[in-house]
Amino acid sequence: MPYRICKSFEVENGHMLSKHPDKCRFPHGHTRRVELVLEAGTLDANDMVCDFKAVKTMVGEYLDRFDHAMCMNVADPMYAEMKNRYGEQIIGFDGTDPTTEVIAKVVYDHLQAQLAAGRAPGKYPVQNGVRVVRVRVWETSSSWAEYGAE
């Protein structure tokens, strides 16, 4: 049975869902909690799956770009105007609406790529064999979406 850890982050984030038939097609925001679950078959030399600071180093800056940003489908008619006006605070999703499910997948893919590239921080190395189990993104206190290997 593997060992598992979970690291959570919180970001204030907006999105517009151009394909939505109702209110969610308009700009709105959420206080999102992002939970990252990692596992390993064995513990490292420090008796950990990996240090929580290693997880923060691998995803902290990436998640910071979502904080107080608006996520939009690049096919949305308002995308070009919003990007021109607000620059890096507009995060484009190519051909897909930035639903909570989609955001969970892009965070999962980012963390998986960091592990695959061996991007462990120098002071907090990550042992071989650590894998991402799932990323769960809470949209509200009662609603979440997740993407993962399970």
Predicted confidence (pLDDT) per residue in 65-107, tens digit: 999 999 999 999 999 999 999 999 999 999 999 999 999 999 9
Q: Within the chain, which residues score under 70 in pLDDT? A: 119-121, 150
- pTM of the full predicted structure? 0.94
Q: Which domains does the chain have, with CATH numbers?
A: 3-148 (3.30.479.10)
What is the largest distance, in Å, between two alpha-carbon atoms of the chain?
53
Q: Map residue 45 onto helix, strand or coil.
A: coil
Residue spans of beta strands (DSSP E) within 41-150: 69-73, 90-93, 131-140, 143-148
